[in-house]
Structure 1
Amino acid sequence: MLADLPKMLQSPEAKAKRMLQLGEPHIHSLTTFVDQLRESAGPGVGIPYFDPWDGGVDAEALFLLEAPGAKAVASGFISRNNPDETAKNMFELGVEAGIDRKHTVLWNVVPWYIGTGTKIRAATPLDLEAGLQPLPRLLALLPKLRTVVLLGRKAEKAAATIASVRPDLKLFICAHPSPLYVNNATGNREKILKILRQVSAHLQQR
């Protein structure tokens, strides 16, 4: 068993082993969901899979970011193990907040890569409108979900859609864990950590 470490999906071995897990029961329906999105989008559109090391359909918390980066497309997964600084921040902040990844699932309000091969661009209103269309289908696949964490201003645009189809879910608004924010000012990391600790406390309530 490979140790769970930041940036581990830069290893071809780790990536290949993770791919073999896409058919496991807890993740199978989410893998099918992504396959259907890929088929609808057509060839050349980069839509990474859900990470089998997360909770899959057993997840109680959905973390929504903006859009997958180039490293996520390269690894094939929306994962806190991706070899980029945002993923590393997600990994480390989640551990520090006491959130078990097996209780979570990661996704993006725009599920596909936007930008060039080397640089992602900001999501436009049209990107968000298109990206939010499959979100109700995703929520229906997560029967144990109790909360959604909206990471960044673009992810906040999903709030109305979530409230309309799953008014039972508690929403948390949080800054995006990119290095542009985390490293921009003293205290920014702590602001994210504060919210994630609230998420952790909510998940521990029964």
Structure 2
Amino acid sequence: MNEARMAPADHWKRAQAGDPFWGTQLAGQNDPHVAPINQLIESLRTHHDGVRLPLAAPWHGGINAPALIVLNDAGEPREETSFMCIRNPDRAADRQRHLMTEFDISPTDFCHWNGYPWPRLDPKRDLTPEQALAGGHALLEVMGLMRDLKMLLLLGRKAQDAADAVLPQLQAEHPRVHIVRSLHPLGAKRTVDREEQKRVWAAIAQYLHAPAS
């Protein structure tokens, strides 16, 4: 974990399929800080006809992380096991890496989740009310596993819809968790959006770096 905190940005490069990095993630999927989340993911998989879900990457903070990043959904159904990780070889992960590097945020400060954790045949469409509610209940489950959760980042419409579907219960069970609503990492298409995105992430970094009171 200390290596992840001190690693320079070039250690955060994309890890393509077959990169040894993914072997280390697979070997560590039952490490204590991610095992409870991956057990929950296994339960969610079982209740949806065994569809594969991305796992929590042990390179991130797992249940010890002070912040939970919630993105949209798991994308289209795929056969390979993958991880929720900013070293994934996709544009959304690239954008997260750039923001975290710019504002000196450690990979261990975060655990990742999806507003709708199951793959969807139509991932570009908004969540239906039923999907938002199912995603909200799953979000409550993973939040209940976190040991010292301070911040909930809802990045994108689907993440926000899932949280809103269970918002009264979420706020009642986690009254001290600071909720941040912002664009999906790829949602900042205009200059003004990118400036606002950076402002939000600068505030996130300031919150995470603030001394514990």
- Cα 1:140/1:175, change in 2 over 3 Å: same
SS in 2 for 1:150: strand
Amino acid at match of 1:100: S
Aligned equivalents of 1:114 and 1:121: distance in 2?
Answer: 9
- Cα 1:127/1:4, change in 2 over 3 Å: farther
- Greater shift after overlay, 13-22 or 101-110? 13-22
Aligned equivalents of 1:188 and 1:73: distance in 2?
Answer: 35
Q: Partner of 1:13 in structure 2?
A: 20
Q: 2:130 aligns with which of 123, 126, 133?
A: 126
- Greater shift after overlay, 166-175 or 74-83? 74-83
Aligned equivalents of 1:142 and 1:169: distance in 2?
Answer: 11
Does 2:159 align with 1:152?
Answer: no
Q: Partner of 2:49 in structure 1?
A: 42
Q: State TM-score, norm by structure 2.
A: 0.84
Does 2:75 align with 1:69?
Answer: yes
Amino acid at match of 2:172: S
Amino acid at match of 2:106: D
Q: Partner of 1:99 in structure 2?
A: 105
Aligned equivalents of 2:77 and 2:22: distance in 1?
Answer: 12
Could you tell me which runs of 5 or more consecutive residues in structure 2 were left unpaired when the two chains were aligned: 5-9
Amino acid at match of 1:105: C
Report the number of matched residues: 200
Q: Partner of 1:195 in structure 2?
A: 200
Amino acid at match of 1:94: M
Q: Partner of 1:176 in structure 2?
A: 184
- Cα 1:108/1:135, change in 2 over 3 Å: same
Aligned equivalents of 2:148 and 2:78: distance in 1?
Answer: 26
| Superposed displacement of residue 190, structure 1 | 2.4
The percentage of aligned residue pairs carrying the same residue is 25
Q: Partner of 1:204 in structure 2?
A: 209
| Superposed displacement of residue 73, structure 1 | 7.0
Alpha-carbon RMSD across the aligned residues, in angstroms, is 2.3
- Structure 1 runs, 4 residues or longer, greater than 4 Å off: 70-75
- Cα 1:72/1:190, change in 2 over 3 Å: farther
Aligned equivalents of 1:97 and 1:195: distance in 2?
Answer: 11
- Cα 1:122/1:107, change in 2 over 3 Å: same
SS in 1 for 2:68: strand
Q: Partner of 2:39 in structure 1?
A: 32
Q: 1:167 aligns with which of 175, 192, 196?
A: 175
Aligned equivalents of 1:37 and 1:163: distance in 2?
Answer: 23
Equivalent pair of 1:47/1:73 in contact (CA under 8 Å)? no
Aligned equivalents of 1:61 and 1:34: distance in 2?
Answer: 19
Equivalent pair of 1:54/1:103 in contact (CA under 8 Å)? yes
Equivalent pair of 1:61/1:105 in contact (CA under 8 Å)? yes
Amino acid at match of 1:142: M
SS in 2 for 1:172: strand
Could you tell me which runs of 5 or more consecutive residues in structure 1 were left unpaired when the two chains were aligned: none
Q: Partner of 2:7 in structure 1?
A: none
Amino acid at match of 2:201: L
Aligned equivalents of 1:190 and 1:97: distance in 2?
Answer: 14
Amino acid at match of 1:199: I
